[in-house]
A and B are shown apart, each in its own frame.
Chain A
Amino acid sequence: AQSVTQLDSQVPVFEEAPVELRCNYSSSVSVYLFWYVQYPNQGLQLLLKYLSGSTLVKGINGFEAEFNKSQTSFHLRKPSVHISDTAEYFCAVSGPTKFYFGSGTKLNVKP
C-alpha cells in the first residue's frame, strides 16, 4: 500500500524568502507523484507532477520539486515566495485505483 507524509502542517515564511515543503512517501511499487495547491475556499489545482524522466520537475507559479527515489521524497521548493502563494499544499501519490494524499501543509507568506 502507498502512503504520504507531509512533515510540516504549517510553514510561515517572509515574502521573497525561499521555501521548501517536505513530502515523503512509501510504496512497494513505482508511483507517480503530485503536488496540488488549494487557495482559500477553492478546489485543488495541480501544481506539478512527476511521472517519469528528469527527477527535477518544474510547475506553475515558479515552483519545482525533486523526486528522490533513494530517500522516497518529493520536496517542493520555490526560491522566492510571494504573498499570493499563501495556500495549502498537498502532496499525493497515485496507485492503480486510488490517489493517496498527505495531510497538507499550510504556507503562510508574511509581508
Chain B
Amino acid sequence: NAGVTQTPKFQVLKTGQSMTLQCAQDMNHEYMSWYRQDPGMGLRLIHYSVGAGITDQGEVPNGYNVSRSTTEDFPLRLLSAAPSQTSVYFCASRSQGSTDTQYFGPGTRLTVL
C-alpha cells in the first residue's frame, strides 16, 4: 500500500512551457485534491475531485487544469508556466465518512524561470 505518490519530485521549467504533475493513490478514495504551498501562505487549494469524471475549482485554479478519468489518478496540468507558479505542490486523497482523513503525497517542488 503506497498511499499517495507524486512524480516528479523536482522540476525546473522555463516560462511558457507546459507540464503535467502526476498523482496516484491506491486507497480507493473518491476524493482527491491539489494544493500549492508558498512561504507564509499555508496550503491553498487549486482543484479537487469528488470522483471519476467530476472536478471543481478551489481557491487558486487559474493557470491549472485537471481531469479525473480513473479513481486512482488525478494529474495536474500547467498549460503555460509562469514564475508565479513556482511553488511546492501537494496532492492529497481523502477517506470520508466516519474515518474522514486527508492523506498527502510527498510533494513536487517546481521552479519556473
Contacts and interface: CB of A to CB of B under 8 A. Distances in A.
A94 B33 CA distance: 13
Query: Top 5 nearest A-B pairs by Cβ distance?
Result: A103-B42, A44-B104, A43-B104, A101-B43, A43-B106
Contact of B106 (A42, A51, A99): A42
Given A44-B90, A97-B48, A97-B56, A32 B43 contact: no
Contacts of B50: 97
11 contacts: A36-B104, A43-B106, A44-B90, A51-B98, A51-B99, A51-B100, A94-B94, A97-B31, A97-B50, A101-B42, A103-B42
B11 interface: no
B80 interface: no
B107 interface: yes
Residue of B41, B99, B101, B107 most packed against chain A (CB within 10 A)? B101
A43 B42 contact: no
